[in-house]
Amino acid sequence: MRIQGQQNFWSGVMFIVVGLLFSWFATDYQMGTAARMGPGYFPFWLGIIMAILGASLSLGALSHKAEETKVDRFDWKSIILVLGGVALFALLLKPLGLYVSLFLLVMITSYASHDFNWKVALATAIFLVVFSYVAFVKGLGLIFPLYPWFIGN
């Protein structure tokens, strides 16, 4: 069977799964009664309602009258470079300090651009490191680990 409205179908599946998961975990908490609600009551019913609405969304998308939509391919290169670059920044912030990890963040994520040019990326990285020093470290006084662990703060 072909799925007519792929976007709505898969969104519906997501709402069903997430809704049921929330409801299922809610049963771990006290439900209570309507007059004296426990912590599980509200999320349990929210999850159930979401799952029901999600199911109607998915079923509606199977109808041949549904608007035809497709789920486009994922651009994994951009995803990995952008999100990976930021996650690496988070990972390296403590051991390597703000300046080095920021520099790496800009260099790695810049590579996701269609017209990547290492000179431009280098200039951007240096500019943003200096800007962060002036605006965030000096200007706003935010507190970061600044230098790599072997140099110390």
Partner 1 sequence: MELFDNIMLGLSVAVTPENLAYAFLGAFLGTIIGVLPGIGPLATIAMLLPITYVLPPVAGLIMLAGIYYGSQYGGSTTAILVNLPGEISAVVTVLDGHQMAKNGRAGAALALAALGSFFAGCVATLLIAGFAPPLAEIAFKFGPAEYFSLMVLGLIGAVVLGSGSLIKAICMILLGLLLGMVGTDVNSGVARYAFNIPELQDGIDFAAVAMGVFGFAEVMRNLEQGEKAQHTTSTIGSLYPNMQEIKESWGAVVRGTAIGSVLGVLPGGGSVLAAFASYTVEKKLSKTPERFGKGHPAGVAGPESANNAGAQTSFIPMLTLGIPSNAVMALMIGAMTIHNIQPGPQVISSHPELFWGLIASMWVGNLMLVVLNLPLVGLWVKLLKIPYRILFPAILVFCSIGVYSLNYNVFDIYVTVAFGFIGYLWGKLGCEGAPLLLGLVLGPMMEENFRRALLLSRGDFMTFIERPLSATLLFLAVALVLLIAVPAIRKKRDETFEEET
Task: Give residues 115-134 in contact with partner 1 (rule: CB under 8 A).
Answer: 115-117, 120-121, 124-125, 128, 132
Question: What CA–CA distance (Å, rounded) separates 128 from 138?
Answer: 14
> Nearest distance from residue 114's CB to partner 1, in Å?
5
> Nearest distance from residue 4's CB to partner 1, in Å?
13
Q: How many CB atoms lie within 10 A of CB 72?
A: 8
Sequence letter at residue 47: G
> Nearest distance from residue 138's CB to partner 1, in Å?
13
> Nearest distance from residue 148's CB to partner 1, in Å?
16
- Confirm if 146 and 137 have CB atoms less than 8 A apart: yes
- Decide whether 116 or 149 has the Cβ nearer to partner 1: 116
Could you tell me the CA-to-CA distances from 71 to 3, 30, 140 in Å, in that order? 11, 39, 43
The contact mask relative to partner 1 for 68-107 (x = CB under 8 A, - = no) is: -x-xx-xx--xx--xx-xxx-xxx-xx-------x--xx-
Please list the residues that pair with 32 across neighbouring strands: 37
Count the residues of the shown chain that bind partner 1, applying the rule CB under 8 A. 72
Q: Which of residues 20-59 bind partner 1 (CB under 8 A)?
A: 22, 25-26, 29-30, 33-39, 41-43, 46-47, 49-50, 53-54, 56-57
Please list the residues that pair with 37 across neighbouring strands: 32
Could you tell me the CA-to-CA distances from 40 to 5, 15, 26, 33, 46 in Å, in that order? 34, 19, 5, 10, 10
